[in-house]
Structure 1
Amino acid sequence: MNTGPIQDGLLPSEFLVEASGVPAIAYVRAGLPGSPTIVALPGGGHMARVFYGHPDSRAEDFLDYWLEKSGLGFIALSYPSDHRAFRRHLPDLTVTDWGNAAALMTAEIMKGRGLYGSITPIGWSMAGRACRAFNVAARRLGLKMPGFIALAATPPMPGMVRAEPEGEPFTAEGFWRTGSDDTGLTARNESFLRDINWRETEIISAAAYKAHYIVNTPIRLRGEPNQRADLERNSLLDTIADLGTFAYPEYPFTGVIAPTRTSDARHALTDQATWGFLNSQKLFCEYSAANSISSQAGAWNELRELALQLPSRLCRYVEGGHFFFIGREGAEKSALHVAELCKQLEYLEVMMVQLLNQQCNPGR
């Protein structure tokens, strides 16, 4: 539970970090020695507090509490928004810039806190857009990252998010207007709040939601083209280049935790197949990069079987909508799935090395 005074909008457990000129609000908790560290990235309009709560909230309603029970370390990063803790605003921040900065922040926090072992980023909603950029930067920095976990997350593929005919609303500063307005919560956020409290037990009140969770967002992080008339280099081709949509070798293998309710029908119906497609492309790229010429029948058959299994092997479901990981039951189940998927991703990493070595060296 987060308690104590709030200074400059930061909770006592939070602090500001910066990398490559990009600031963020960080929350860090060490796990058991040798355990993976989860790096949590929030979606559009929200701070990373969706993963660890607000003052006077119930700790067991949030993912961090249950991840700690599993021994996993935790780093949560809130992207730069119009939150009052940020002295400098970056309304045009790109997905690539955020992914690069978040990976560098992670490396510096790990080193500064004496944390060792692997990391597994989890991205909720819009944060799925940054999976490729984060992975590329993490590899460059020498971070051990077996894979990524998508929580009702949208991959780096434009055209998957509904485009409103009237366009998106913006603040005077150029942020995507995803926070509250002067009259209170917007219709969008009222809908989100109902989704959070869908079990008819109030987890987050309207006042707490407005005060501690919602912010206005850099529009490019949404990962869609032509979002603002005065925004340069935001065509479809520019967006594809920023997301790295077709750079399949640069994607991480991705585990999926998806919702079940009609309130988040797109993720409930498509996440397993969408991320499964990208995992299949990643597997093929790994195979191609191994320069296999001759094939050992046993290894090839295992590789084919693995390709068939990946969509279901790396997918889990939790009852609920877009915020299925908030609330005691959803948070506990989600944390268990995160721990399971970390093991699956680590196992997959080892298996791929073994299978591809057999393919490349059939005599061994």
Structure 2
Amino acid sequence: MKLLTALLVAGSFALAAPAVAEPQLYKGEEALQAAGYPTVAWFKKGDADKPLVVFAPGGHHMARISYGGHDGAKPEDFLAHWLGEKGYSFLGLSYPIDTKAFETKHPDFTARAWGKQVAEVAAAKIKENGLSNKVVLIAWSMGGKVVQPGYQAMTEAGLDVEAAVSFAATPGTPGLISLVSKMKMAESGYADRKNIYGGWLKQLEKNNADNGGRTIIPADVFQADYVGDIPIGLQGYGEVYRDGKFVVDLQAQAEDYGAFAYEAYPLVVILEDGDVADARHALADRANWTMFNTNTVMARFITANKVKLADLEPAKWERLVSLTRGLDERLAIPVGGNHFFFVGEAGAKKAADAIDQGLTKAREVEAELNDILGLKAQ
């Protein structure tokens, strides 16, 4: 202690300032602030006349799952490459997650804030790169919670959301998964579900085997750089972060997700996987999203435009009935595979083809609705 005091007095000893962690990013990634929170963005420009494709990742994942970037990664194994081959501009956007890509923790992050992030960054990239104002929103897995907040925020920002695409995504309705599961809180205040990472790794191993046996994402890299703890409010199990605790508030969560705001939803194209390892999505996604699509037709196309259905010509009424009852077939595209069906060269290329096909389907449905109802293009 005497020696330390002497050194301090003599000025020959100085306490080092606490180190501030810098975000550890992959090549091409940007650490940005949007909607008052940090985000990590990866953007690749395509044809200025084609819509910008925005990828919203699932639970505990960074958007890297859509574009890769780790040492040894093969671009062809990831969705962004194949969408680029088709001329689409691509934006992968990660919400705050407990990985080395983020300097700070934000357990209070909500789906509303996520939607605003998507809108702000998409609008900025469109302006910076002279793109059209058209957007396609891809929602993977838990990313289904950002479909309504993202659509509403982007629409309010003047963007034209042509469609959303469900990549084995769960809609933002509390109870579709569970209302009894309780999440473990990490010291960060985030939700900790590391116990399920093993199941994800097994599915990725299956994709390795389906792509010549080579490793697409090494397990240690996946766990260190691709996944981490996340804000509880995004999970969809009814819990929200409040006063430093996880509390069940179904009403708050439903409002955060816009669970019943059908007047502010896009049409959703459903890419259906088919592996038993992802049974809930393989069995339920089409029915879940068709319920939203049908109510979107009612709320956004009919009620919001004050269409008097009784005034429709009988032939148009029959067309409307047929179209609405057939939405599950018209807007669903089976792609097979597991929860990571779009990871690996074969699946990534197939998913890009399905997005192209799905966007055409959504445009056709919307054009037919506008014709039947006598509406201008929305």
- Using structure 1 for the length normalisation, give the TM-score: 0.90
* Contact 1:296-1:358 within 8 A present in 2 as well: no
> Are 1:267 and 2:281 an aligned pair?
yes
Paired positions, count: 345
CA distance in 1, matches of 2:246, 2:227: 26
Picking from 41, 55, 75, the partner of 2:56 is 41
**Residue in 1 that maps onto 2:331:** 314
* Contact 1:225-1:239 within 8 A present in 2 as well: yes
CA distance in 2, matches of 1:264, 1:118: 32
**Residue in 2 that maps onto 1:12:** 27
**Residue in 1 that maps onto 2:296:** 282
Identify which range, 108-117 or 142-151, moves more after superposition: 108-117
What SS does structure 2 have at the residue aligned with 1:103?
helix
**Residue in 2 that maps onto 1:344:** 361
CA distance in 2, matches of 1:337, 1:57: 23
**Residue in 1 that maps onto 2:202:** 194
* Contact 2:50-2:88 within 8 A present in 1 as well: yes
**Residue in 2 that maps onto 1:216:** 229
CA distance in 2, matches of 1:234, 1:103: 28
Cα 1:232–1:321 change in 2 (3 A) is closer
What fraction of aligned residue pairs are identical, expressed as a percent?
31
Q: How does 1:49-60 map to 2 (within 5 A)?
A: 49-55=64-70, 56-60=72-76
**Residue in 1 that maps onto 2:125:** 109
Shift of 1:171: 1.2
CA distance in 2, matches of 1:279, 1:207: 39
Structure 1 runs not aligned, ≥5 long? 1-6, 179-185, 360-364
Decide which structure has greater strand share: 2
Shift of 1:77: 0.1
Cα 1:136–1:45 change in 2 (3 A) is same
* Contact 1:253-1:282 within 8 A present in 2 as well: yes
Structure 2 runs not aligned, ≥5 long? 1-21
CA distance in 1, matches of 2:149, 2:29: 25
Deviations 1:70-100 (A, max 9, x none): 1111001000122233233211111111112
Identify which range, 18-27 or 226-235, moves more after superposition: 226-235
What SS does structure 2 have at the residue aligned with 1:99?
helix
Shift of 1:170: 2.0
**Pairwise CA RMSD:** 2.0
For the pair shown, the structure with the greater C-alpha radius of gyration is: 2
CA distance in 2, matches of 1:188, 1:163: 18
**Residue in 1 that maps onto 2:99:** 83
Q: How does 1:1-364 map to 2 (within 5 A)?
A: 8-55=23-70, 56-162=72-178, 167-178=182-193, 186-199=194-207, 200=209, 201=213, 202-226=215-239, 230-231=244-245, 234-285=248-299, 286-293=301-308, 294-357=311-374
* Contact 1:81-1:91 within 8 A present in 2 as well: no
Identify which range, 71-80 or 154-163, moves more after superposition: 154-163
Cα 1:297–1:95 change in 2 (3 A) is same
